[in-house]
Amino acid sequence: MSTSAPETLTQTATANLPQAVEPRNPGMELDMDWVMRTRANRSAIERRAATLPGRRSVKKDYQAAWLARAISCIDLTTLAGDDTAGRVQRLCAKARQPVRADILEAIDLTGLQTGAVCVYHDMIETAVKALEGTGIPVAAVSTGFPAGLSPFHLRIAEIEESVKAGAEEIDIVISRRLVLSGDWQGLYEEMKAFRAACGDAHVKAILATGELGTLQNVARASLVCMMAGADFIKTSTGKESVNATLPVSLVMIRAIREFYERTGFRVGYKPAGGISKAKDSINYLALIKEELGDRWLRPDLFRFGASSLLGDIERQLEHHVSGAYSASWRHAAG
């Protein structure tokens, strides 16, 4: 990544405004030859990923622009057992105004919002009401999140109920056992059924990469889910012991690139879990820019699944303005 910003600060801030709509991935027939030819060279992948943080750096206004872009791509998330309507309403207020007004004014940046708000099913209606008129979509986790082990008909029904409640995006979890046992036909049929149940709502396929065993399994699962019509592929639920990493991201991003080159359809990417520092967000954006290009640096094709990342980015933006770091409590999530 060069030291230039993705665009100017003002252009970065307008990332959530209406833009050309990408044709939705319609899926394709399962191509087992393509799936089984797919390999992953772990040492080469890890070597490539390890070089990224040390050789890519952005400073000053350019860094502020990249961090603003990261904010526009955050799925601001609360997935706690003690979620309340009040907490979700505060989170939605933060999604609408993710950075303190005085900081935005100091860098002449307006119109900045997060990419979405992600909640459990029970909080969808609360979030939809709180975000009315903003254009910020509500995403809901579904299909027995995070384990995905509830009866299949209930997982389908859960998707349908969440769409009916107003969720525009559904984050589903695949059955990991299908990957671990090499049942690619089973994974394809499951993903197709989830996509059909979503209707017009976009579907993000959570692979739970930390539980798939090998990078080769990650690559193959990514392809199968895209063949079945996934609009996004996503690393993790955030509940696994290992969540998003740069090597896993490189594997999934290259699968997205190969799928696009073969089919002409762009599929989105969402790393989730463990991304809490502003510098990490820039590393992921750099990887996207280098491997997929600038078109993927928009919230319709790239998201961070995060709850604490926004606070650190806001601290970095205040440092950019004032030259001093502030306490985290000055940048509450809601």
Q: What is the DSSP code string of 34-95?
A: HHHH----HHHHHHHHHHHHHH----HHHHHHHHHHHHHTEEEE---TT--HHHHHHHHHHH
Residue 23 token pair: 């044709």
C-alpha R_g of the chain: 19
Residue type, 166: G
Is residue 289 annotated as part of the catalytic site, yes or no?
no
Q: Give the separation between CA 318 and CA 86, rounded to whole angstroms.
A: 27
Exposure string of 21-33, with b = 16+ CB inside 10 Å and e = fewer, is eeeebebeebeee
**Set 231, 234, 280, 312: catalytic member:** 234
Choosing from 75, 94, 171, 204, which is the catalytic residue?
Answer: 171
Q: Cα separations (Å) of 255 from 33, 52, 106?
A: 15, 19, 40
8 Å CB contact between 106 and 321: yes
- Indicate if 279 belongs to the active site: no
Catalytic position from the list 94, 204, 231, 270: 270
Active site residue 312: no
Q: What residues are annotated to the active site?
A: 171, 234, 270
